[in-house]
Amino acid sequence: MGSVDEVECLVVGAGVVGLAASRALAMAGREVLIAEREPLYGSGTSSRNSEVIHAGLYYPTGSLKATLCVRGKAMLYAYCAERGLPHRGCGKLLVACGEAEVPKLRALQASARANGVDDLRWVEPAELRTMEPALHAVAALHSPSSGIVDSHALMTSLLGDAEHHGATLGLTSPVRRMRHDGRGWCVQIAGSGDDDDEHAAPALRARWVVNAAGLGAQALARRMHGFPPSKVPRPVFAKGHYYALQGRAPFTRLVYPMPADGGLGVHLTLDLAGQARFGPDVQWLPADADPAALDYTVDPARSEAFYGEIRRYWPALPDGALVPAYTGIRPKLSGPGEPAADFRIDGPAEHGVPGVVQLFGIESPGLTASLAIGEVVAGIVGRA
């Protein structure tokens, strides 16, 4: 087979989770190569979200989403403060727009408390009018530890840490296929040889592969010769639209309605400059959608539904105030009408295959949980 470059850990995907995992591995003394298919790091799902630091309110107690969100939030605030990264703990109001939603709000309060979120406070309408006069709701939960972060500054810092500890980033380096030869994963990178020949000499051999490919994680897992297809969950893609508000919003906190099927409802978020945007909604994509050919076009026709959703908690939203901003697509593991699936962080103990960690369904709160996810990945590799 000739000489093959060898690396201890190959991380596939340079989004926020892949970069956090690379940082944790490199800081643990591992040799790390990051392979990113795009010409820029963090240009996929990580660049198309709300940039919210979640408190951990919504997720079933004991789930990975709950535990890693709560731990990741603490790690993220500490990391941003230490590095001087742009962020703000502006807080969030989760609102019940009618009496029928109050029991759901109480249930979320109990769930959050069980998850270790101990700073939530119930807010009655009179106080709510003082906090946010433009807001309409019959009750709310105030989450002071929710916030916002500059995700691009965060990713740049994570990459800098990883590189400082010896990691290398390879851009425009899509992984074509892999096979295990008993000593490690033989990896073919597009452009490194005959892309159509599955027996072509590999570009490198990796003792460990961390699949942090996001929307393409399942497709990559299926290209790993010897990895059992039964251990690859079906991918589900949900497109979310975001609309920006023209002019200044009369709010100082994030505002979230009750969660909706597949998401957290059309909520109001603020960027670090105080500009408001709304979203995401949920548009389920076809089951056979190709993760490499997804359409990120904003559909202007969806704005009508946005006005209706937003006016439930902000009745004074002016006509014509919303302008299309961007879309994001979430890598989910559950579809319409199904209970929300948990993160999957599958190491050899879960799937029985040596030298691979599969990250499936890392949607929200993946940004908040990124440092904690990296910690888990480094722990799996360290225990081997």
Average pLDDT over residues 274-290: 94
Q: Is beta strand 224-225 parallel, antiparallel or unpaired with respect to 344-346?
A: unpaired
The model's confidence at residue 198, banded by pLDDT at 50, 70 and 90, is low
In this model, does residue 2 exceed pLDDT 50? no
Average pLDDT over residues 275-282: 95
- What pLDDT does residue 192 have? 55
Per-residue pLDDT reduced to its tens digit, 167-185: 999 999 999 999 999 899 9
Per-residue pLDDT reduced to its tens digit, 131-147: 999 999 999 999 999 99
- What pLDDT does residue 8 have? 98
Burial 262-281 (b: 16+ CB within 10 A, else e): bbbbbbbbbeeeeebbbbbb
The answer to whether 284 touches 262, Cβ cutoff 8 Å, is: yes
- What pLDDT does residue 197 have? 57
Q: Which residues, other chains included, contact 343 with Cβ-Cβ below 8 Å and sequence gap of 6+?
A: 63, 64, 65, 68, 359, 360, 361, 362, 366, 369, 373
In this model, does residue 195 exceed pLDDT 70? no
Percentage of the chain exceeding pLDDT 70: 96
Give this prediction's pTM. Answer: 0.95
- What the chain holds in terms of domains, given with CATH numbers, is 5-48+153-233+341-383 (3.50.50.60)
In this model, does residue 251 exceed pLDDT 90? yes
In this model, does residue 99 exceed pLDDT 80? yes
Per-residue pLDDT reduced to its tens digit, 314-350: 999 999 999 999 999 999 999 999 999 999 999 999 9
Q: How far apart are CA 384 and CA 283, in angstroms?
A: 40
**Is the Cα dihedral 341, 345, 350, 353 positive or negative?**
positive
First and final C-alpha spacing in the chain = 27
Per-residue pLDDT reduced to its tens digit, 12-69: 999 999 999 999 999 999 999 999 999 999 999 999 999 999 999 999 999 999 999 9
The model's confidence at residue 203, banded by pLDDT at 50, 70 and 90, is confident
- What pLDDT does residue 287 have? 87
Per-residue pLDDT reduced to its tens digit, 214-234: 999 999 999 999 999 999 999
Q: Which residue, 17, 20, 38, 377, is CA-closest to 208?
A: 377
The model's confidence at residue 262, banded by pLDDT at 50, 70 and 90, is confident
- What pLDDT does residue 126 have? 96
The answer to whether 371 touches 20, Cβ cutoff 8 Å, is: yes
The model's confidence at residue 150, banded by pLDDT at 50, 70 and 90, is very high
Q: How far apart are CA 69 and CA 75, in angstroms?
A: 10
In this model, does residue 119 exceed pLDDT 50? yes
The answer to whether 303 touches 278, Cβ cutoff 8 Å, is: no
Average pLDDT over residues 290-309: 93
In this model, does residue 202 exceed pLDDT 80? no
In this model, does residue 3 exceed pLDDT 50? yes
- What pLDDT does residue 1 have? 34
